[in-house]
């Protein structure tokens, strides 16, 4: 049936919505919530039908984003039909029954996810089944390829193209802001794209944005890489592996991450990387809790990398406490810049130079970590970062104190003297988010003591930064409840961590980062 | 934040939608797709926020059904906030990890499903995990109780209140239209509520609606039961176990049915039944394929019944072919009425009297089937059905030929002589739906030969009825592809059912009925 387009200036968070008059819908056999196919000039899309008595009979109301999908304008004529059930739904149902999927079934599903032919409920069921059953390596490879094929890809040429990625989990992991300039200063190509925070107080894109713009176009990214060998940009608008973002939106509230491997590998392949160093923080405070788990994940990464023609080296890194002292976009940017200028917390310095060293050794440069150390000490990494900042549109002369942080602060002090026994990264991250991070870039936490440090009674444990008083207050209240830093005076104290039945059952925070 | 209500005459298939101006949304910290809580006069609801530039700043646009939830009118002032993550999501995530849920966790989840606090994706993940992991009997009991508590309940007093239910799966199962009058004629109470078809060509509510109204209010149902001992009504608007309907909407496209037991038992308990006969059609053409599966399901029903203080008797019934000859609402109503008037296909007569007999014996009346047979033969069941029809608002004098059926018909004939070896109920059902059933009540199929019957070349196999030529044509095309009736002349023929690789891989239809 042919209907005339009427554009409605409403957004629905990505869903494709079409409004039909109730008689029109009845004639098409469409009920509210059914899918309809909308075709114009040979291009088709699927949208969810809502029924209205206020729409004229021969019109179809399209939400703004929906109309944009086919570049439709008011008055265009489109052909509308009740949509067929997508073939991919058959494969989704097969996976619900625990069946292994063939490569073409997976490709079909991923295409239909991107084309919005599958509903959120169907994608959710699929991801849940994957989470419970697990994926075979063949399925992971097929997922990776499908996620790459259904999006754009970039190429930075034949020469080694390096990349680094952390599976995430420890707050304060600002390592990339050091690694990229080190590698670029050595003349190697490292086009680093990063995400914004999903559950954490800061993603690399959020941190770097306090130094310079990160939402660069593909042309601007090429220019930056051409001029400096590297970049530190947000990858979200490049349309690389768009299926990944759609999956993450559904995985996140469910607290599951069945596609961790294909998600990361597809994005690296799509950006044109040839050599990837994967940081796997391991420990109580990280996403990966034990070395056994870490070894298994690492070998899966290497294996999947081989299948996708990517050279992968994994580093299992210390994950028992936050990295460095600062947590929050602006605070972390300050700490990273200060580190490159010569004054760094030891753990941040060691991790950044180690990972840069891993990358160097992947392309045949020996004594990688030492090389990385000397690049920092000679000032080459700081200079390179400032070059990148300038080309990306920021002020190359920026100093740490120029980076705005929250002016509403409060320090939490020790109620006894002792040694820092335990810092809950999860709790520190929650406090930083309660204080306003990452939306309020100047918010966060600065640790005044790390594991093993001795603290006197009334000594500083950590300082909370916020941009608004209300945020500071609720962060302080949360801090009092969570008690993220645990001190011990004598060995025997504090052996009881909690009791059941007890005050409350604490839900473990789900960590989702990319 | 206080906003003024503006009602939009749009329906979204049950979802609760609220439209906010983009500045208002930013102030509330709300993005498109987030959940907001809307409070008015002490009552609150959750809705999904969509953002629009066309809504005035201090207004909130509510879809019609959404506004009705709190009885809101244009101009009402409501309080709007970003909604908190529901506690039930924690329990959903636990089930995704395979953990067994406690009764209060399940109650929490079901409440939040009914209150729309959980999104469709979250419910979908929950159902998928249940489907893969299965439910313990304790969880089934908790689900049943929670589904009952979150809806209305009825009571028809202390005396035995009988009910009958089929798990479904074979087309043409019009048994209830005979069983209810038989039981009611014997002076026993049987307030039968039924559903409309979900995947089949006809549900009991669709069949009976061709005889009299079925959308009765609770008062009208009580009146019918008071006057006649029974009723044949649609249960959908009584708000019994509303969570069940929400679950079914999501289960259906996914082809899963993890809550079959609590779904059926909660509805029976909510309607006030004390004794329930459950028909489990078993066989190749049914939902339950083998006797082993049927025995397991049946003992689960009896077990769950005990826990819910319901006396349950299961009958495993023949499920190799459709029941009777007619498939489709009006055609089946004709066949049922004709059967009570003295002319019945033998399988329908035997099944109806057997099941009525099971119910009689559950309340201590011996020789139940013989009693049921004599009630039909004496005309008591026909008279009772006509009483029920009259009180429910139909014409008590209605004759089979008065029930309108499709006037566009075509008979499919045998291309050889032989004995009927196999009738695919699934295919017959698909053909009936293609012909227009159940939306077009007069559409369907009438079988001219049943299993074991001998047919001559060019003899009638089945007749397709439709209300529109286009429907008749596509049903005939489908019939040619599906070949639902298989004949055999000699034992050795037709031993090959299909080949792989072959013409096509047929997807087995998922049967969901209540």
pLDDT tens digits along B421-454: 889 999 999 999 999 999 899 999 999 999 999 9
| Nearest CA-CA partner of A270 in A183, A157, A153, A373 | A153
pLDDT interval class at A31 (50, 70, 90): confident
B334, B174 Cβ separation under 8 angstroms: no
Residue A49 predicted with pLDDT over 90:
no
Walk across the sheet containing A275-282 and list its strands.
A162-166, A275-282, A311-318
**How far, in Å, are A350, A365, B116 from residue A276 at the CA level?**
19, 15, 44
Residue A34 contacts residue A107 (beta carbons within 8 Å): no
CA B31/CA A12 separation, integer angstroms = 9
> Are B13 and A50 inside 8 Å of each other by CB?
yes
Chain A closest CA to B172's CA: distance in Å? 24
The per-residue pLDDT for A284 is 80
Cβ neighbors of B305 (< 8 A, separation 6 or more) are B265, B276, B311, B312
Split at pLDDT 50, 70, 90, the class of A51 is confident
Q: What is the DSSP string of B209-252?
A: TTTS-----HHHHHHHHHHHSEEEEE-TTTTSSHHHHHHHHHHH
Per-residue pLDDT band for B16 (boundaries 50, 70, 90) equals confident
Provide the pLDDT confidence category of residue B349 given band limits of 50, 70 and 90.
very high
Segment among A50-59, A401-410, A453-462, B99-108 with least mean pLDDT = A50-59
Closest CA to B153 of B34, B308, B17, B268: B268
- Give percent of chain A above pLDDT 70: 95
For residue A474, pLDDT beyond 80 = yes
- Which pLDDT band holds residue A513 (cuts at 50, 70, 90)? low
pLDDT in the model for residue B104: 95
Of B13, B19, B256, the CB nearest to A33: B13
End-to-end CA distance of chain B: 43
- Give the C-alpha separation, A372 to A181, whole Å: 10
Q: How much of chain B, in percent, has pLDDT values that exceed 90?
A: 72
Q: Does residue A432 have a pLDDT over 80?
A: yes
Give me the phi and psi of B411, to 5 degrees please.
Answer: -105, 135
Nearest to B11 among A51, A129, A132 (CB): A51
Closest to A50 (Cβ–Cβ): which among B11, B31, B90?
B11
A54 and chain B in contact, CB less than 8 A: yes
Model pLDDT for residues A249-270, shown as the tens digit of each residue: 899 889 899 999 999 999 999 9
pLDDT tens-place string over residues A68-104: 889 999 999 999 998 888 899 999 999 999 999 999 9
Among residues A112, A244, A245, A257, the one annotated as catalytic is: A257
User: Is the distance from CB of B288 to CB of B294 less than 8 angstroms?
Assistant: yes
Strand partners, B6: B61
Can you tell me the distance from the alpha carbon of A361 to that of A370, in angstroms, rounded to the nearest whole number? Answer: 11
Tell me if residue B441 falls in helix, strand or coil.
coil
So what's the pLDDT on residue B499? 64
Q: What is the mean pLDDT of residues B2-27?
A: 83
pLDDT of residue A509: 58
Put simply, the answer to whether A10 touches B52 (Cβ < 8 Å) is yes
CA A315 to chain centroid, in Å, comes to: 19
Q: How confident is the model at residue A176 (pLDDT cuts 50, 70, 90)?
A: very high
Ranking A47-51, A59-63, B377-381 by mean pLDDT, the lowest is A47-51
Q: Is the pLDDT of residue A26 over 90?
A: no
pLDDT reported for residue B305:
96
Task: Name the minimum distance, in Å, from the CA of A140 to any CA of chain B.
Answer: 20
Q: How far apart are CA A275 and CA B365, in angstroms?
A: 81
The torsion angles phi and psi of B279, rounded to 5 degrees, stand at: -90, 120
Q: For the ranges A29-38, A83-92, A130-139, which has the lowest average pLDDT?
A: A29-38
Q: Are B348 and B356 in contact (CB under 8 A)?
A: no
Q: Please state the rounded mean pLDDT for residues B244-259.
A: 90
HSE-CB at B56 with a 13 A cutoff on CA atoms is 8
Chain B partners within 8 Å of A123 (Cβ): 121
Q: What is the pLDDT of residue B263?
A: 94
Closest-approach residue (CA) in chain B for A49: B12
Task: Give whole-number Cα distances, A251 to A124, B90, B154, in Å.
Answer: 7, 14, 40
Our CA-based measurement puts residue B464 at a distance from the nearest CA of chain A, in whole angstroms, of 21
Round to whole Å and give the CA distance between A428 and A446.
9
Q: Report the alpha-carbon distance of residue A401 to residue A421 in Å, rounded.
A: 32
Helices (H), B378-421: 380-391
Q: Is the pLDDT of residue B387 over 90?
A: yes
Determine the distance in angstroms separating the CA of B92 from the nearest CA of chain A, rounded to an integer.
Answer: 8
* Residues of B in Cβ contact (< 8 Å) with A89: 253
Mutate to test the interface with A, among B8, B9, B10 (most CBs of A within 10 A): B10
DSSP A323: S
Distance of alpha carbon B81 from alpha carbon B20, whole angstroms: 11
* Nearest-angstrom CA–CA distance, A411 and A446: 9
Work out the number of other CB atoms within 10 angstroms of the CB of residue A16: 20
Kindly tell me if the per-residue pLDDT of A466 is higher than 70: yes
Look at residue A281 in the predicted model and tell me its pLDDT: 93
Question: Is the pLDDT assigned to residue A15 strictly greater than 90?
Answer: no
Query: Does the annotation mark A244 as catalytic?
Result: no
Non-local (6+) Cβ contacts of B238 within 8 A are: B152, B154, B193, B218, B221
Q: What is the mean pLDDT of residues A3-31?
A: 82
Pairing of strands B43-52, B35-40: antiparallel
* Average pLDDT value over all residues in chain A: 91
Residues of chain A neighbouring B6 (CB-CB closer than 8 A) = none
Q: Is A56 left (phi over 0), alpha (psi -120 to 50) or beta?
A: beta
The pLDDT score that the predictor gives to residue B421 is 87
Considering only alpha carbons, which residue of chain A is nearest residue B9?
A: A52
Q: What is the pLDDT of residue B384?
A: 98
pLDDT digits (tens, 9 = 90+) for A223-251: 999 999 999 999 888 889 999 989 988 99
pLDDT of residue B497: 60
Does A130 sit behind a cis peptide bond, omega within 30 degrees of 0 on the bond before it? no
Contacts for A202 with CB less than 8 Å, ≥ 6 apart? A171, A174, A327, A328, A329, A332, A432, A437, A438, A444
* Closest C-alpha to B191, from B225, B214, B234, B152: B225
Distance, in Å, from the CA atom of A359 to the CA atom of A329, rounded to the nearest integer, reads 25
Which pLDDT score is estimated for B334? Answer: 98
**Structure confidence by residue, pLDDT tens digits, A184-203:** 999 999 999 998 887 889 99
Range 63-122 of A in CB contact (< 8 A) with B: 63, 85, 89-90, 92-93, 96, 98, 119-122
**Average pLDDT for residues B50-73, to the nearest whole number?**
88
As a whole number, mean pLDDT of residues B93-100 equals: 93
Confidence of residue B509 (pLDDT cuts 50, 70, 90): low
Is B423 in contact with B321 (CB distance < 8 Å)?
Answer: yes
**Spatial CA neighbour of B230 closest among B297, B179, B167:** B179
Provide mean pLDDT across the span A155-177: 92
Determine the Cα–Cα distance for residues A203 and A248; give it in Å rounded to an integer: 15
- pTM of the entire predicted model: 0.81
The Cα B302–Cα A68 span in angstroms is 56
| Alpha helix ranges (H) inside A289-395 | 291-307, 329-340, 346-362, 368-377, 380-391
Give the confidence band of B508 by pLDDT, cuts at 50, 70, 90: low
Q: pLDDT class for B494, splitting at 50, 70, 90? A: low
**Out of A14, A19, A254, whose CB is closest to B125?**
A254
What pLDDT shows up at residue A497? 60
* Dihedral sign, Cα of residue B327, residue B328, residue B331, residue B335: positive
Which of the 8 DSSP states describes residue A395?
-
**pLDDT, tens digit, 9 for 90 and up, residues B292-319:** 899 999 999 999 999 999 999 999 999 9
Question: B138-143: long-range contacts (C-beta < 8 A, 24 or more apart)?
Answer: B138/B100, B138/B103, B139/B100, B139/B101, B139/B106, B140/B261, B140/B262, B140/B300, B140/B304, B141/B103, B141/B262, B141/B304, B141/B307, B141/B308, B142/B101, B142/B102, B142/B103, B142/B106, B142/B107, B143/B106, B143/B110, B143/B259, B143/B262, B143/B266
For residue B188, the 8-state DSSP code is -
Q: What is the rounded distance in angstroms from the CA atom of residue A125 to the CA atom of residue A93? A: 9
Within 352-371 of B, beta carbons closer than 8 Å to A belong to none
Q: What percent of chain B has pLDDT over 70?
A: 95
Which chain B residue's Cα is nearest to A436? Answer: B29
Q: How confident is the model at residue A13 (pLDDT cuts 50, 70, 90)?
A: low
pLDDT at B29 over 80: no
Query: What residues of chain B lie within 8 A of the CB of A122, using their CB?
Result: 124, 253-254
At residue A479, the 3 state secondary structure works out as: helix
Cβ contacts of B19 on chain A, cutoff 8 Å: 10
Q: Which of B28, B32, B36, B128 to mutate to test the interface with A (most CBs of A within 10 A)?
A: B128
Question: Active-site positions of B?
Answer: 257
Query: What are the CA-CA distances from residue B496 to residues A439, B416, B419, B486, B508 (Å)?
Result: 66, 18, 17, 12, 18
Nearest to B93 among A15, A132, A254 (CB): A254
For residue A256, give how far its alpha carbon lies from the nearest alpha carbon of chain B (Å).
8
């Amino acid at each position: 049936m042919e209907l005339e387009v009427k554009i409605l200036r409403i957004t629905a968070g990505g869903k494709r919505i079409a409004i039909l008059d109730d008689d029109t819908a009845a004639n098409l056999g469409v009920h509210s919530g059914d899918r309809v196919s909308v075709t114009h000039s040979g291009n088709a899309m699927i949208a969810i039908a809502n029924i209205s008595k206020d729409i004229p009979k021969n019109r179809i109301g399209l939400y703004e984003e929906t109309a944009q999908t086919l570049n439709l304008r008011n008055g265009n004529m489109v052909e509308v039909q009740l949509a067929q059930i997508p073939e991919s739904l058959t494969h989704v149902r097969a996976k619900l029954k625990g069946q292994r999927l063939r490569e073409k079934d997976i490709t079909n599903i991923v295409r239909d996810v991107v084309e919005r032919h599958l509903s959120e409920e169907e994608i959710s069921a699929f991801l849940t089944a994957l989470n419970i059953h697990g994926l075979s390596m063949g399925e992971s490879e097929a997922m990776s390829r499908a996620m790459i094929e259904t999006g754009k890809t970039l190429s930075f040429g034949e020469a080694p193209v390096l990349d680094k990625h952390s599976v995430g989990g420890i707050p304060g992991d600002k390592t990339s802001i050091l690694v990229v300039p080190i590698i670029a200063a050595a003349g190697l190509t490292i086009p680093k794209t990063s995400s914004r925070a999903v559950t954490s107080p800061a993603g690399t894109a959020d941190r770097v944005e306090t130094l310079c713009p990160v939402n660069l176009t593909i042309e601007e990214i090429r220019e930056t890489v051409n001029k400096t060998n590297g970049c530190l940009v947000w990858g979200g608008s490049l349309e690389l592996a768009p299926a990944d973002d759609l999956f993450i939106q559904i995985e996140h509230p469910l607290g599951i991450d069945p596609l961790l491997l294909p998600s990361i590998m597809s994005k690296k392949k799509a950006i044109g990387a040839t050599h990837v160093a994967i940081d796997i923080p391991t420990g109580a405070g990280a996403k990966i809790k034990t070395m056994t788990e870490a070894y298994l994940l690492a070998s899966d990464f290497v294996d999947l990398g081989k299948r996708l023609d990517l050279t992968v080296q994994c580093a299992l890194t210390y994950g028992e406490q936050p990295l460095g002292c600062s947590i929050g976009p602006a605070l972390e940017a300050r700490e990273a810049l200060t580190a490159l200028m010569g004054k760094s917390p030891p753990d941040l310095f060691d991790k950044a130079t180690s990972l840069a060293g891993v990358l160097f050794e992947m392309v045949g440069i020996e004594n990688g970590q030492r090389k990385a150390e000397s690049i920092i000490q000679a000032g080459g990494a700081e200079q390179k970062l400032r070059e990148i900042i300038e080309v990306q549109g920021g002020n190359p002369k920026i100093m740490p104190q120029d980076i705005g942080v929250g002016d509403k602060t409060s320090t939490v002090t020790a109620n006894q003297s002792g040694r820092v026994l335990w810092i809950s990264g999860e709790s520190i991250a929650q406090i930083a988010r309660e204080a306003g991070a990452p939306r309020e870039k100047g918010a966060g936490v600065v640790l005044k003591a790390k594991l093993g440090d001795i603290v006197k009674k009334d000594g500083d444990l950590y300082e909370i930064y916020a941009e608004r008083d209300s945020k500071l207050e609720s962060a302080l209240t949360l801090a009092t409840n969570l008690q993220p830093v645990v001190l011990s005076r004598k060995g025997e104290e504090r052996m009881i961590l909690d009791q059941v039945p007890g005050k409350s059952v604490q839900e473990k925070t789900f960590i989702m980062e990319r």
